[in-house]
Amino acid sequence: MIANFFIKLGQKVISFLYFLGGLSNLAAQTLYLTFSPPYQRRRIFDQAKRTGYDSLLIVSLIGMFIGMIMALQTAVLMQRLGSEMYIASIVAISLVRELGPVITALIVAGRVGAAITAEIGSMQVTEQIDALEAFATNPVKYLVVPRFVALSLMLPVLTLYADLVGIFGGYAICVYRMGISSSMYLKITADALFYKDLFTGLAKTVFFGMIIAFVSCYEGFNVEGGAEGVGKATRQSVVISFILIITADCFFTALFYFIFP
């Protein structure tokens, strides 16, 4: 019984180390190939469109509702304290520093990361990855580099957009529901935010984008079996991305806390 537990634990540790090794190997290859010609401009543009433009609707909806929920939740406490004016600053700081980057990254991991794993996984089981190699085309260069660049560039842009939409959500609640004046809301929001808030919020999304790209592509390349394998890898890709994004967020929050106290 105890022996079995340790055997299973050992297997889990080995498979985790194997995963980390594979992920690091893929990351190193991708970084090297990103800066080696020929550059994949057209494919990067296609992926940027899929990652960014095609995600606008879902990011708008979720960003807006998060802003509204934040405003409504803080309003309960602030009204008790008679400090409704501070709702704007709480909404702005929470969104720009934390909620905007993390929620956007989680949306993109679920929407784009899952699609990448399913697409590459299907290519793997139908021998399309082998076909790329057979035609002297490096699968990492052809498939991973455009997705890596697109995700690293588009996630900060989407986050900035989610921040703005979320602030507008808070604005809608405060101005149209609580009667705070529009100019006052905008002034308090502007006064509450500093460049460092924006910088720390956006800087970490570049890393979140990299995490999503590496995890989703790695899981896709390692699909085994048929449709069941693709489903399993897709689920795993989303779960691992979520865990790594939250872990990285914790790390960056602590790091920025000490750098920009």
Partner 1 sequence: MIEIKNVTKSFAGRKVLDGASLIIPDGMTYVIIGRSGCGKSVLLKHIEGILKPESGEVIVNGHNVSKSSEDELNELRMKIGFVFQGGALFDSLTVGENVGFGLIEHDHIGQQELLERVEEALSMVGLGGIENVMPSELSGGMKKRVSLARALCINPQIILYDEPTTGVDPITADSINELIKSLHDKLKVTSIVVTHDMKSAYKIADRIAMLYRGKIIAEGTPEEIQQSNHPVVHQFINGLAQGPITETVEPKSVLDKTQKVHM
Nearer to partner 1, 130 or 191 (CB): 130
Nearer to partner 1, 133 or 191 (CB): 133
Return the closest-CA partner of residue 200 out of 212, 208, 189: 208
* Side-chain half-sphere CA neighbours of 47 within 13 A: 27
- Ranges within 28-67 binding partner 1 (CB under 8 A): none
Please provide the distance, in angstroms rounded to a whole number, between the alpha carbons at the two ends of the chain.
Answer: 50
Nearer to partner 1, 89 or 138 (CB): 138
- Ranges within 94-153 binding partner 1 (CB under 8 A): 122-123, 126-128, 130-131, 133-138
The minimum distance between CB 221 and partner 1, in angstroms, equals 14
The minimum distance between CB 216 and partner 1, in angstroms, equals 16
The minimum distance between CB 1 and partner 1, in angstroms, equals 27
The minimum distance between CB 96 and partner 1, in angstroms, equals 37
Nearer to partner 1, 122 or 253 (CB): 122
**HEC readout, the chain:** CHHHHHHHHHHHHHHHHHHHHHHHHHHHHHHHHHCCCCCCHHHHHHHHHHHCHHHHHHHHHHHHHHHHHHHHHHHHHHHHHCCHHHHHHHHHHHHHHHHHHHHHHHHHHHHHHHHHHHHHHHHHHCCHHHHHHHCCCCHHHHHHHHHHHHHHHHHHHHHHHHHHHHHHHHHHHHHHCCCCCHHHHHHHHHHHCCHHHHHHHHHHHHHHHHHHHHHHHHHHHCCCCCHHHHHHHHHHHHHHHHHHHHHHHHHHHHHHHHHCC
Nearer to partner 1, 103 or 143 (CB): 143
The minimum distance between CB 57 and partner 1, in angstroms, equals 22
The minimum distance between CB 73 and partner 1, in angstroms, equals 43
Nearer to partner 1, 11 or 126 (CB): 126
Return the closest-CA partner of residue 59 out of 165, 137, 181, 143: 165
The minimum distance between CB 128 and partner 1, in angstroms, equals 5
Number of residues that bind partner 1 (CB under 8 A): 13
Nearer to partner 1, 6 or 135 (CB): 135
Judged by the rule CB under 8 A, the positions of this chain that interact with partner 1 are 122-123, 126-128, 130-131, 133-138
